[in-house]
Amino acid sequence: MPELPEVETVRRGLAPAMEGRRIERAEVNRPDLRWPLPERMAERITGARVERLRRRSKYILADLDTGESLLIHLGMSGRMLVSGVMLGDFHLDHPAPQKHDHVVLTMEGGARVTFNDARRFGAMDLVRTDREAAHWLLAGLGPEPFGNEFNEDYLVARLKGKATPIKAALLDQGIVAGLGNIYVCEVLFRAGIDPRRQAGRIAAARIARLVPLIREVLSEAIAAGGSSLRDHRQASGELGYFQHAFRVYDREGEPCTTCGTPLRRIVQSGRSTYFCPHCQR
């Protein structure tokens, strides 16, 4: 499932085609994705101007001049693809309609934004912008990793006394929003922390050090366009490239880039965890 860097990459790719432009026509080709789509969705967003695009955790929010925001979740295989615009020196022509093009937005200026989702694990909803914090998908989310509320003192306080493994704690969206399996593995490797260690038993100084490392890893991944392992594509259709910079994730049995020890893979809460048994203590 796309994590914060992949979603932020998609948001940035959509912005030039959507921000400040009206949705001239909205086509909704099925009544549901993972959950039912909003009633009269096409009618409610056709003619609306997109004031701005934001990201909250792993969700994209398009604020409309109608007072509503279009909430988008990519799910496992969802893609938001832009066509009919220039990308550098190349024009992205409109492709032929595809079987899994579930929502198609024709934007003012000629761009087209298509939500394609083969597995239909993605979601879209309309929520009043001034009440979005209470939306069931957003309520309870922790602070954004790049926000001022996410700082060393906050993380130390939230993890104090926690008996859960540090990896599970960092995946808890109520503690910090947007982190997923890939980037937590990479962060813990850079921090030299064993993913199995109880969060509450790690020294405060080491916990505090996680804050800049989280920002560092996420920033590098965003700059690389995210990680493309299976389904992720940028809004232009291009792959992300951060997977080529993985130090531990998906590298079971390969030598550690620091010490040469073969990397290990274990399963925690049904998810694969990759780490170096020598460097991470």
pLDDT tens digits, one per residue of 197-216: 999 999 999 999 999 999 99
Task: Report the relative pairing of strands 123-128 and 112-116 from DSSP bridges.
Answer: unpaired
Q: Per CATH, the architecture of 4-134 is what?
A: Alpha-Beta Barrel (3.20)
The two tokens of residue 191 are: 């921090």
Looking at the chain, the domain(s) classified CATH 1.10.8.50 span 152-275
Q: What are the backbone dihedrals phi and psi of residue 55, each rounded to the nearest 5 degrees, phi first?
A: -125, 135
Q: Please, where in the chain does CATH 3.20.190.10 lie?
A: 4-134
pLDDT at 230 over 60: no
Distance CA 180, CA 2 (A): 8
pLDDT at position 227: 74
Report whether pLDDT(63) > 80: yes
Give me the phi and psi of 273, to 5 degrees please: -120, 130
The residues carrying an active-site annotation are: 2-3, 58, 271
Both tokens of 48, joined, read 């609306």
Cα of first residue to Cα of last residue in the chain, in angstroms, is: 28
Rounded Cα distance, 35 and 62, in Å? 19
pLDDT value, residue 231: 52
Looking at the chain, the whole-number percentage of residues with pLDDT higher than 90 is: 78
Instruction: Output DSSP code: residue 230.
Output: S
How confident is the model over 158-174, as pLDDT tens digits?
999 999 999 999 999 99
Give the pLDDT confidence score for residue 95 in this predicted structure.
Answer: 77
Which of 86-90, 163-167, 182-186 has the least mean pLDDT?
A: 86-90
* pLDDT of the residue at 140: 95
**Other CB atoms closer than 10 Å to residue 131's CB: what's the count?**
11
State mean pLDDT over 98-119.
Answer: 94
The pLDDT of residue 30 is above 80? yes
Lowest mean pLDDT among 4-13, 56-65, 142-151: 4-13
pLDDT at residue number 85: 73
Q: Rounded to two decimals, what is the model's pTM?
A: 0.90
Across the range 247-261, mean pLDDT stands at 96
Q: How many CA atoms lie within 13 A of 2 on its CB side?
A: 33
pLDDT confidence of residue 243: 72
Other residues' Cβ atoms within 10 Å of the Cβ of residue 208: 15
Specify whether the CB–CB gap between 240 and 234 falls below 8 A: yes
- Across the range 45-57, mean pLDDT stands at 97
- Is 56 a residue whose pLDDT tops 80? yes
Collapse the DSSP code of 157 into the 3-class scheme (helix H, G, I; strand E, B; otherwise coil) and give the result. Answer: helix
Give the whole-angstrom CA distance, residue 245 versus residue 269: 25
Q: What three-state secondary structure class fits 155?
A: helix
Provide the pairing of β-strand 271-275 with 264-268.
Answer: antiparallel
| Tokens 């490392």, located at residue | 213
Write down the pLDDT at residue 2. 82
Let me know if domain 152-275 sits in CATH 3.40.50.10310: no
Cα distance between residue 189 and residue 155, in whole Å? 18
Give residue 232's pLDDT: 47
Minimum mean pLDDT range among 13-22, 92-101, 119-128 = 92-101
Average pLDDT of the residues of the chain: 92
List, in order, residues 6 or more apart from 96 with CB less than 8 Å away. none
Residue 237 pLDDT > 70, yes or no?
no
Bridge partners of 27? 104
Band the pLDDT of 61: cuts 50, 70, 90. Answer: very high
The residues that bridge with 52 in the sheet, in sequence order, are 63
Number of neighbouring beta carbons within 10 Å of residue 89: 5
